[in-house]
Amino acid sequence: MIDLRGANLLLALESRMENPYVARIMSSKICVIIPARLSSSRFYGKVLWNFRKIPMIEHVYRRASLAISRDHIYITSGDKDILDYMGSIGANVIKSKKVHNNGTSRAAEASINLPYKYVIILQADEILVEPAHLNKLINSITKDGVENFYNLITSLKAKNDLYDVNIVKCFTDKNNFLNNFFRTPENTQVGVTKVSKVIGILAFRKISLLNLSSMEDTSLQTKNSIEQFKIIEHGFNLKGILVDSDYPSINTESDIALVEKFIKKSLVQKKILSQYVNQ
């Protein structure tokens, strides 16, 4: 359970904003929070594992900084090693409780005293995140600014992805709202309904993130280990933002070779690496 005193204060302040100029300034305030922990069950300590001589979390941080100022990027963790390392390279760090049910809960704790209206949660193992995707999400929030929850999605590129349990898929309606999720297809509906791949980058109106984090986890969320279920099971809308490409994640050590192979074939990934790898 999260202490919502900070959230209630923010809500009170927002409700008093009658000046359109002040409201416009507030609505443009977006930050990125990167929650991280060492105790990954499938790959312990992976966020500090060196990929091309740079820890994984630093790759994520530097890629995010190609889309948004580092002043608005925060690392949150309960692990001293992560906080010490990221602090040593100049990142904003926020100490969280050691144990959280998931990254969303950890990010919510970190956001309480931050002065932003929207929070983008970027997982510390999304080593190939594309800054262009973050830009599209930020632009969508800035332009739209009415939804409480956003999630990047993309089309399925390979048939095998449909059966890969590590890839979360979703059904979307005609307005790109996400209404169901699955890891493996269990009925013939999958063959005739539009299916998209869920990218693990979400954005939340801060007050909605805090409220959601104070609610109980839901049955489908727990059963499927899919955090997005909590949003729709509690009756909220989740807006999908469609991007034109995706990339593999590193869940286990065996995924390292897959990522290396992907980079070798991707001009986009090579270009992104060249923009920060020598900084």
Band the pLDDT of 279: cuts 50, 70, 90: low
Band the pLDDT of 189: cuts 50, 70, 90: low
Residues 6+ apart with CB under 8 A from 78: 37, 95, 96, 97, 98, 99, 100, 106
pLDDT at 10: 42
- Say which residue the tokens 């309606």 belong to: 173
SS3 for the chain, per residue?
CCCCHHHHHHHHHHHCCCCHHHHHHHHCCEEEEEEECCCCCCCCCHHHCEECCEEHHHHHHHHHCCCCCHHHEEEEECCHHHHHHHHHCCCEEEECCCCCCCHHHHHHHHHCCCCCCEEEEECCCCCCCCHHHHHHHHHHHHHHCCCCEEEEEEECCCHHHHHCCCCCEEEECCCCEEEEEECCCCCCHHHHCCEEEEEEEEEEEHHHHHHHHCCCCCHHHHHHCCCHHHHHHCCCCCEEEECCCCCCCCCCCCHHHHHHHHHHHCHHHHHHHHHHCCC
CA 249 to centroid of chain Cα atoms: 13
Asked if residue 224 lies in contact with residue 200, where contact means CB atoms within 8 angstroms, the answer is no
- Across residues 214-226, what is the average pLDDT? 93
pLDDT at 185: 81
Asked if residue 141 lies in contact with residue 203, where contact means CB atoms within 8 angstroms, the answer is yes
Q: Which domain holds residue 174?
A: 5-276
- The pTM score is 0.86
- Across residues 95-124, what is the average pLDDT? 93
CATH number at residue 237: 3.90.550.10
Asked if residue 156 lies in contact with residue 196, where contact means CB atoms within 8 angstroms, the answer is yes
- Rounded Cα–Cα distance for residues 236 and 86 (Å): 34
Pairing of strands 239-242, 169-172: unpaired
- Measured CA distances, 113 to 86, 206, 250 (Å): 20, 10, 31
- Across residues 259-272, what is the average pLDDT? 95
- Rounded Cα–Cα distance for residues 227 and 147 (Å): 18
Band the pLDDT of 147: cuts 50, 70, 90: very high
Range with the poorest average pLDDT among 22-26, 64-68, 106-110: 22-26
- List the structure tokens of 112: 């309480």
Calculate what percentage of the chain has a pLDDT beyond 70: 86
Tens digits of residue pLDDT in 2-54: 444 444 444 443 443 334 333 334 435 999 999 999 977 677 788 999 998 99
Band the pLDDT of 193: cuts 50, 70, 90: low
Measured torsion, CA atoms of residues 100, 106, 109, 112, in degrees rounded to the nearest 10: -170
- List the structure tokens of 239: 């807006």
Per the prediction, the chain carries an average pLDDT of 86
pLDDT at 21: 36
- List the structure tokens of 22: 């002040």
pLDDT at 89: 97
- Axis crossing angle, helix 5-15 with helix 206-213, rounded to the nearest 10: 150
The tally of domains found in the chain comes to 1
68: number of CA atoms within 13 Å, CB side?
A: 24
- Rounded Cα–Cα distance for residues 169 and 153 (Å): 9
Tens digits of residue pLDDT in 203-218: 999 999 999 999 999 9
